[in-house]
Amino acid sequence: MEEFILIRPTSEYASQIAEYRQEFLDAGDSMDGTGPLRRIENPEEYINICAEYEDLQTVPSHLVPATQFLFVRKSDNRLVGMLQVRHCFNDYLEKYAGHIGYSVRPSERRKGYAKEMLKAALPFCKGIGLNKVLITCVDGNIASEKTILANGGEYESTVYEPNEKEYLKRFWVEG
């Protein structure tokens, strides 16, 4: 398996963040675990917002503090995935989205990267006091479900999310 690093977004990766976003837009795919990336074209603005979201004093009042990570392949310094850790819950996160969201760029899927990215994030979760994390996936997203199960996920329940009109499976993973 290749070697990866899990790092916070920096200006060094601005052009790759823009490419990552565009790849998802071109594929018509959701950008799970990327925070506000879908609505922000300027990667430098996105990087600044990610930093603001980490702090309880600067995160918008309707959100919770969250840490954004880039999952970068060391051999070529390529951004292959993104993952967001939400430090606590609001009502929506507790019911539907959980502590962690993640995605792998469409051109890098089916290589086991999501499993490695989630595994790499669990020590961070434990370090901020999350000994157990809730992770959800759309019912029928077999790849995401396998990723969660491979990291020790224990199925809890399936819930209906009315805004997206989809069923979500809820799993708990030890941090």
* Residues 149-170: tens digit of each pLDDT: 999 999 999 999 999 999 999 9
* pTM recorded for the entire structure: 0.95
Specify the fold of 4-130: Aminopeptidase (3.40.630)
| Residues 6+ positions from 3 with CB-CB distance below 8 Å | 73, 74, 75
* Residues 102-133: tens digit of each pLDDT: 999 999 999 999 999 999 999 999 999 999 99
